[in-house]
Each structure stands twice: as structure tokens, then as C-alpha cells.
Amino acid sequence: MLPADITESVQRALAEDLGSGDLSAALVDPRQELQARVISREAGVLCGQPYFEAVCIQLSADLRVNWNVSEGAEIVPNQPLCDIHGPAAALLSAERSALNFLQLLSATATQTRAFVERLRGSSTRLLDTRKTLPGLRLAQKYAVRVGGGYNHRLGLFDGILIKENHLAAIGGIAPAIARARALAPVLTRIEVEVETLEQLDEAVAAGADMVLLDNFSVPALREAVARVAGRIPLEASGNISLDTVAAVAATGVDYLSVGSITRNVQSLDLSLRYL
């Protein structure tokens, strides 16, 4: 499913870049047409085609984009990704915003796919977090799905995650869960973050729907899985890297969440060349 805010996100990006108008593109003959090609400079997972196309469409309905690879495809260096043809001024104005979306979302999908590949053969699913770039949450969570991961909460409105600061303010796990049951809409999932096995036992006894095991060691994760014995889902989180993700999954946790796939992204190197 495509994000509902693609048009709005693209409008913001273009307003930020163009302001009152593209002074450089105004130098170009309005009747002139150009053709360009986007080429990859490094390997990765291509993501962001709907955003790229939306940038072009918003600047000119006559800009045409023809893709050579599909969304979510793995790409290699020097691979032609798409060709664009249409009014020169619109194409010149679209270039940076269109590439920004494509490079950022491809980077997010690429990072996600790398983790997913390390999970191959296990039943553990990779979740994203709310550690996204401001204003681009739905875009990055879309890229996570394209990369093979799963979305956790979209925001604070569609699930309850009781963390250590909530527990400090409310006075403990049991009263926090009881208050959540009383106030939350029906069927809202209540998840509790715990830091010890004793807190895990308390959260399960208090009726948590899911527990986040924060910065547990691999042996502690195994013990947590054994104690819960499948009664509720368990999520591991905290400093999980590509080097450790397979070992975490091998403990039997149902999910693991990684903030770096959306927070610590380095844009994929893509280039737009005029033909």
C-alpha cells in the first residue's frame, strides 16, 4: 500500500526547493525538451518510484518517466534505472527533489534488506521504529516494507508502548497496564518495555499483549523466550547490528526492532545524466 501523504510530501519538498520559482530554469527556452537517465553508482535496493514520479507530475504533466527496473529490485553499479523526457525547464527543476526521494528511500530499503537477509531461515521478523526523519515517516516506513521489513507503530496514536519513563511517571508495570486497559480503545495492543527478567514476569502477569526486551544479552533473551513459552510475542531491541542480528534471532524472539534502518541512512549514490 502506498503512503497516503505522497502528494503532500512532494509538495513540501518542491516548495522548499523552488520557493517563488526556479531562477536558473527560467533561463531555458520554454519550448525546449530534454531527455535524461538516472544511473546507479552503487549496489542497493531501488525504492521511491512513486515519489520520483510525483515530483515530475507536479512540475509538468508532460514529463514522462520510463522505468527499466521495478520497485524493490536489487540494482548494481552503473545500471540504468529510468529515462525521463519532457519540457527542459520542468525536468531541470524536478531533478534534485526527485533524486532526493529516490536516494533516501533506496538507502532505507537497502539497509532493511541487509538485515532481512541475515534473518533468512528464522521466523523472526524485522520491525522499524519511530526513529525516522522528521516529516518523512510514512515515506521511510514504506521503504522498510519495500526492503522486506515490517512496520511497528506509525506513531503514538495507533498502539501503546509503555517505556521506562512512562513507568517512572505512573509508578510501575502493573498500574500502567491497568490504566492502559481502562483508557485505550478496544483492541489497542499494549506493549511494555522491560530491562530485566523480573520485569518481564511482572509484565506477563499484568496482562501485557507484547513485551519489548530492551538491551537484553543473548543468554537473557533465550531465558526470556523460555519463560514466556509462546504466551505473548517478544520483541528484542537495543544496539542490534548486522553482526549480531542472526544471534538475536536464534534465541527465538518473535520480532526485533532496529532504529538504524531509518535513522542512520546514507543516501544511495544515484546520478541523473542528460542525454
Given 17, 33, 214, 269, the catalytic residue: 214
Shared-domain flag, residues 156 and 243: yes
Contacts of 47 (CB under 8 A, 6+ apart): 71, 72, 102, 105, 106, 108, 109, 110, 142, 143, 146, 147
Q: Is residue 195 domain-shared with residue 269, that is, in the same domain?
A: no
Does residue 179 share a domain with residue 81?
A: no
**pLDDT for position 85:** 98
**Residue 1 is assigned to a structural domain of this protein:** no
Answer whether 44's CB lies under 8 Å from 102's CB. Answer: no
**What is the residue-level pLDDT of the chain in tens, covering all 275 positions?**
899 999 999 999 999 999 999 999 999 998 999 999 999 999 999 999 999 999 999 999 999 999 999 999 999 999 999 999 999 999 999 999 999 999 999 999 999 999 999 999 999 999 999 999 999 999 999 999 999 999 999 999 999 999 999 999 999 999 999 999 998 888 899 999 999 999 999 999 999 999 999 999 999 999 999 999 999 999 999 989 999 999 999 999 999 999 999 999 999 999 999 99
Residue 101's domain is classified under what CATH number? 3.90.1170.20
Q: Look up 96 and say whether it is catalytic.
A: yes
* Selected catalytic residue, list 96, 145, 153, 189: 96
Do residues 153 and 83 both lie within one domain?
A: no
Active-site residue, from 128, 193, 202, 254: 193
Name the active-site residue from 12, 37, 153, 163: 163
- 137 and 179 housed in the same domain: yes
Confidence (pTM): 0.95
Active site residue 163: yes
105 alpha-carbon distance from chain centroid: 8
Is residue 233 included in any domain, yes or no? yes
Are 79 and 42 within one domain?
A: yes
Catalytic residue chosen out of the listed positions 131, 145, 179, 263: 131
Domain co-membership, 187 together with 226:
yes
In this structure, what are the phi and psi dihedrals at residue 58, rounded to the nearest 5 degrees?
-65, -25
Instruction: Give domain status of residue 150, yes or no.
Output: yes
CB 77 within 8 A of CB 43: yes
- CATH code, domain carrying 188: 3.20.20.70
Q: What is the pLDDT of residue 184?
A: 86
Tell whether 100 and 213 lie within a shared domain.
no
Question: What pLDDT, on a 0 to 100 scale, did the predictor assign at position 18?
Answer: 96
Domain range for residue 72? Answer: 6-116+265-274
